[in-house]
Structure 1
Amino acid sequence: MNAGALDAWQIPILVTAVIVLVEAGFNLILRFRGARPPSPRVRTVGFGILVVLTVVVFVAALGPTRADQLSSVAAAVAAVVALWLTYRSYNTTVKKPGKPADEPEDQENREHG
């Protein structure tokens, strides 16, 4: 165990503790303000701070090498999802709405009509 370094099992405990402390702080602020809910901007900023704190603690606990490997895997997964979504989007624009793609047009109606 290194002095000053975080172990993997400590991350959930620290993140949970920070979330509990932030929630307690917000509850005190709400009681002081008369129980009015905070504005959307305050909620968005609070959520952003929690996200940044979680990412920083997570990356610090992993170390630079593991964080780099994890980001490579995440980029590969994002590329596969983007490819699948592009394929689905292409298929929906190629098919005509209201008509199945494998249904042939009725030749008799065009010849007699």
Structure 2
Amino acid sequence: MSGVELDAWQIPILVTAAVVLVEAAFNLVLRYRGIGPPSQRVRTVGFGLLVVLTVVVFVAALGPTRADQLSSVAAAVAAVVALWLTYRSYNTVTKQTEEAGKPAPEPDDPGES
């Protein structure tokens, strides 16, 4: 390679600097052209890209062994959450079915006393 090595602690600083520089460049271009802020969709896509970049940098900083261990733990947590959501969904459907099967309450007859 070129002989330049990065330590793990330098990566977040470089990513933060890149994000600040890109934002500043976009703001300058938008002000120069007189265009308003970007649409909601563009901002959402930009935010999604930053999240993906953050995850990739985080995994690269951890290294392959730690990233593998972390993904195993994350998969276990996701499985527990999926199980809990499935249970809640089942209970909701069961309650709706029970309520639909009950006869409607009869209205009170004001003539009876």
Name the TM-score, length of structure 2 as normaliser: 0.67
Q: In 2 relative to 1, CA 90–29 (structure 1 residues): closer, same or farther, beyond 3 Å?
A: same
Is 1:14 matched up with 2:14?
A: yes
Q: Distance in 1 between matches of 2:57 and 2:64?
A: 12
Question: What is the total number of aligned residue pairs between the two structures?
Answer: 96
Deviations 1:75-110 (A, max 9, x none): 1111000000111111111124896xxxxxxxxxxx
Q: Give the Å deviation of 1:70.
A: 1.0
Q: Which amino acid aligns with 2:56?
A: V
Note the 1:1-113 alignment, pairs <5 A. 4-7=5-8, 9-96=9-96
Identity of aligned residues (%): 79
Q: Distance in 2 between matches of 1:96 and 1:44?
A: 36
Q: Distance in 2 between matches of 1:89 and 1:49?
A: 32
> In angstroms, what is the RMSD of aligned CA positions?
2.6
Unaligned runs of 5+ in 2: 100-113
Name the TM-score, length of structure 1 as normaliser: 0.67
Unaligned runs of 5+ in 1: 100-113
Q: Distance in 1 between matches of 2:54 and 2:18?
A: 9
